[in-house]
Amino acid sequence: MGVFQIKSTKNHETPCEGDENSKKNPEKIETCYFCNKKFDINKDDSSHYKYDKYPMCDYCSRFYGFYD
């Protein structure tokens, strides 16, 4: 009856990198800090967080030429 197969249960070292969320870009609606327009910051355009804090829409990003 059954062979003892005691292998260390070491399956769970690190959850694989690339957590599920980082692959897809779910919409994340933010309000632009500069023009108050709502936009999807996860969209693949110039929108981004200015200083990691202030949402900045694609339009303003281009307009002001801020890319980081």
Binding site for Zn ion (CB under 5 A): 32, 34-35, 57, 60
Query: For Zn ion, which is the closer residue by CB, 20 or 30?
Result: 30
Q: How much is the CA Rg of the chain, to the nearest whole Å?
A: 21
* Closer of 32 and 41 to Zn ion (Cβ): 32
Please identify, using beta-carbon distances, which residue of 14 and 31 lies nearer to Zn ion: 31
CA distances from 13 to 8, 10, 16, 18, 22 (A): 12, 6, 9, 15, 20
Shortest Cβ distance from residue 38 to Zn ion (Å)? Answer: 10
Helix, strand, or coil here: 62?
Answer: helix
